[in-house]
Structure 1
Amino acid sequence: MTPQTPRRPRLLIVDDNGDLVDNLREILEDAGYHVTGAASCAAALDVAGTEGFDVALVDLRLPDGDGTALAPQLKEASPDGEVVLLTGFATLESAMAAVRAGACAYLVKPCATQELLVTVEQAMRQVRLHAEKHELARRAQTAEKLAAIGTMTAGLSHEIRNPLNAAALQLTVLERRIHKLPAEGQQPALLEPLSLVRDEIRRLDHILEDFLQFARPREFVAHTVDVETVLKKVLDLVEGQAERRGVQVIRDFQPVPPVRGDEERLRQVVMNLALNAVEALPPGGFVRLTSVLEAPDGADVLIHVDDNGPGIPAELRERIFEPFFTTKAAGSGLGLSIVHAIVTQHGGTISAGESPEGGARFTLALPRAD
């Protein structure tokens, strides 16, 4: 399996001095950054609008404009990016101009390599803070929705279950009476629609179970759980359905320490993700389950569920854990919300992204037991 390579931070250097841009590019690319150069304001705005950037190093004097005027335009094109202004003269006026332009720092040309790298890393810290704030705000919003909808669904589910149970009971009585009719008469014609009704009642009952589990999750009691045991049990159940659909299931288990959690609920999480992947694939596709330690001394055990299907559009990845959001024609839209709630209860995280094979990847990060 080819590991997914993390995206390198993107730097944009806006300066019409080609030699300077080449020198800065060499230093910064050696430090692990992806560098794009632009020799004018127009070229810089074009790059910002199409590729985006994390940090832009912008010269104050450009052939078609001024760096202090360009900086706010770049921030508008890439709101989570940061701008560092480059100047040939360190004056109070240039520092004030950098502040007014919304720059997080400025460098005096030519600058020492260490000063350049430190300044860029400080700007990258601001970029990471922006991303963390967005993620915290998204999680808080999701938690509020889950709490509000959970209260509503608890009452609604019980109101629906009572008449549903009554209907199921009467259906059983009716079915018994039909079986007493002569087999060669109307019995077959009457039993066929009863079977369809029974299946629909069963489907509604499963949806109600999702509602109740979502609204009132059972008490969490943590034990030491062996990850490989969980994955093997899930795959033993999934492989039959995968085989019927012509989908291959691949096991890629690396030795990982045990995690702290509820084995049955963790099986439910992985089962939901694996079945979703199988159902999304055409014949000939594959699903891969991987377990890996995030780092040799890392605190998290990672479980990846990968497939080579159509994947999840980027604009939907943040919404798929919302309650009642679904791209399926049938279902409650609560499956992934319940998964998210269980993982959160375990002190872990779950994310959706792109698999190295081009399909979908769901990643569970669970704290190790020790």
Structure 2
Amino acid sequence: MFDPTDRTDPSDRSDQEKEAGAGYAILFRPVSGAAVMIDLRKAPRELFAQVLESNLQGIGPARKLYGHFADAVLLRLGAECVWVMGGDGEVRVVRGDYMLCDLARTAAFLRDERPPTARTVVLARVSVHGRQVAVVGASRREREFGQGARRTLDRLCGVLAQELARREELRLTRVLDRIRGKIASELRPRDLAYQILDGLHQLVDYDHSSAVLTYDPEATVFRIEAEKMVWTKGKSAFVGHEIPAAALVGALGDRPGIRRLAADALDDPFWEALTYHRGRGIPVPASLICAPLFFGGELMGLLKIAGWKRRPFDPRDVQVVERFLPAAAVSIRNARLNMSLERQAIQAELKATLVTLASAVAHDVNNAVGTILPLVQQVRSELREGTADAETIDRDLSLVIEKARLCQRIFGNMLRVARGGRPGDGPVDVNQVIRDTVPFFQGAAARLGIDTLLELDEQLPCVRFSRHDLQHIVLNLVNNSLEAMGETGSRVVISTRLGEEDGTAFLAIRDDGPGIPSELLDKVEEPFFSTKHGGVGLGLAICRSLAWQNGGSLEIESAAGVGTRVEVELRLAGKDGGEGASV
């Protein structure tokens, strides 16, 4: 019971400690917390109860804490059975004779009912931050409890409530510290958003979903940046979903604080906008917390938390969410800054890509023009000389039209590549994008003796992706394959397939070229690293960034002498994707 590390000189001890040395009491130093005096003149049972009460902070897991506490109650009240029932109705622990455990009376007491009284049973509540978290019961077989038993049990429950509140605050602080550490380590903003949603799940214990929405002032929409689904396993199909923001921004101007909404708030614009799962086989939330995110007075987005079967959100939940708002606002601000920088790099890379494309198609356009020009000159000459033959002219003009349409397709596709687009502005038909992109590199591949093969899943649904970004990825990855293969490979295969998980599809580009040495595989995705002479080293890094901005990912597999395979994960547009696909 004594602290063996205490080396305090007796002359330096307080009067309280001197009294302990006089034989009337001992100074008990628990594992954590302040030291307390134990009066040795008390009965042994009461002494042990006081020691147990004083050492709650030293108990680790919650179940052991409840057991430790129940032992103290058992001794303090002289009970024959003590039990603790959680706020959810689950029995946390039972000490003593289990047959004396009155769970029916305890459950009624938990529901604020008034069960019939019994002098052999005493019940008390444990409340933390105004929220009932447990009911503690004690019973005897025959002996009745005195009038002071309830007051004693209330006092003990107060001690337990203080310890639970301390642990809750400690857990909240740890989660926030972890998130601040992630911000400092420059974690990807979307990954940071999921860290925040996970932390809120630990502390608020929502059972439906939560989401971070970013505000786009130019389009006047809130865009779902990250969403965590709790009511079911699997990824959200709503990341990238856009919600009109005009009415919501106006409502925030009238009342900028956090909102607690219940299912009867049907007229509230936030309830209408944030229950976007309706009608899709997903349960409708029973309650919501909606928190606006501001940074320097500027609206950055919204934090949404939805409950389903759990109790309605209360003021304590709002307090916890409020502690997370600065980190969430910083994550969105960082996302905006990073996207701006990445877009600048992408535009620079795009210009380089257009130069590469122009070089690649120049040969095909030159051949087409080389066919058109002699035919037109020949037709004009025959018309002037009067020797023109209608059938011959018709055949020559048909060939001219064919070559002119080829040039039209080439320049039309180049304009599409050059035209900007916002991330996630699909739905888009992946297979059609691939077919439209093939003419850019098919001629160059044929001149290298490399076959371009398509293995497309014709049943593949549309995906939510920027058409411009998707075409850029395909062009960049195929050009990388062609440049790396040279004379060592014979084919490039572009394939699409539906993902095994709901809501995903995959685009893969593989070649049978020289592959990437294992010591370079980790480096090829880093910005400004290139194995090509004169290469800038931004191609793959930007492809990965584009995939991430559109809610997907990019993975590379390669082995020296075998070839390389790059796979891009895409999100299906789903039912909320719109009426038609962008092709």
Q: TM-score, normalised by structure 2?
A: 0.27
Greater relative contact order, per chain length (Cα 8 Å cut-off, separation 6+): 1
Q: TM-score, normalised by structure 1?
A: 0.41
Bigger Rg, which one:
2
